[in-house]
A and B are shown apart, each in its own frame.
Chain A
C-alpha cells in the first residue's frame, strides 16, 4: 500500500511569486488536509478537501487555495508569496469512515526569499 506522497520535496521562490504543491493521497483515502508547519512550531490547519469540495478552512488568507481531483490527489496554491510563507507544508489523507485519523506525507519545504 502506497502512503501519502508529496512533490516537490524542496522549493525556493522569491517574494510575490506563486507556487503549487502537490499531494497524492493514500490508497482508499478520499479526504485530504493541508497544514503549514513553521520552524519549531506545530502544524497549523490550512484547509481540507472531501469529494473535490473544500470541507473546512483554517485562519489563512484567500491567497492560499486548493483543489482536489477525481482520483483524490490534491494541490495547494499560494499566490503573492510572502517571506512568512517559508515553512514545511504537510499533506495528510484519511478515509471517509475515519476522517479524524490522518496520515501524513513527508512534506514540501518552501523557502521564500
Chain B
C-alpha cells in the first residue's frame, strides 16, 4: 500500500538557517503530494502541494519539488524564523477517494 517516510527528528536550527526536511514515498500510480504544518495545540494547515512530476509547490518561503525519479518531495526554506517552529507532515493522496496518507511528522524548533 501507499506509504510516506520522513526523516527522523527533531530538528533544531538557529534563526535564518537553511532548512531541508526529507520526504520519500511509495505509491501506485501518480499521487499528489502535500506538506502540512501543525502548530502546538492546533489542527493541520496546508502548506503547499504538487500534483504531478517536476511540479514545484511554494508558500511562505517554503518550497518542495515533486521528484518522480527519486520518489521524493523534500521541503526547503532558505531562512527559517522562530515562528516556523511546528510539526511538519508530508502526505500523499491517491486512489479513488483521495484519502491522505501521512508520514510520522517531524518537529522543527527554531531558536533566536
**Total interface residues on B, using CB and 8 Å?**
25
**Total interface residues on A, using CB and 8 Å?**
27
Please pick, from B32, B44, B45, the residue contacting A100 in the complex, using a CB distance under 8 A. Answer: B32
Q: Are B101 and A94 in contact (CB under 8 A)?
A: no
Q: Are B42 and A42 in contact (CB under 8 A)?
A: no
Main DSSP-derived SS at the B contact region: strand
- Given A103-B46, A104-B43: A43 and B98 within 8 A (CB)? no
Asked if A71 lies at the interface with its beta carbon under 8 angstroms from chain B, I say no
| Contact stretch, chosen from B11-19, B74-82, B89-97 | B89-97
> Which single residue of chain A is at the shortest CB-CB distance from B101?
A45
> Which single residue of chain A is at the shortest CB-CB distance from B90?
A42
Asked if A56 lies at the interface with its beta carbon under 8 angstroms from chain B, I say yes
A48-71 vs B: 1/0 string, CB under 8 Å?
101000011010000000000000
Please pick, from B36, B91, B98, the residue contacting A94 in the complex, using a CB distance under 8 A. Answer: B98
Q: Are B104 and A42 in contact (CB under 8 A)?
A: yes
Q: Are B103 and A42 in contact (CB under 8 A)?
A: yes
Q: Are A33 and B103 in contact (CB under 8 A)?
A: no
Q: Are A99 and B102 in contact (CB under 8 A)?
A: no
Q: Are A100 and B93 in contact (CB under 8 A)?
A: yes
- In the bound complex, CA of A55 to CA of B105 (Å): 26
Given contacts A42-B105, A43-B100, A99-B98, list 7 more A-B pairs with CB under 8 A.
Answer: A33-B99, A41-B104, A42-B4, A44-B102, A48-B99, A56-B95, A90-B43
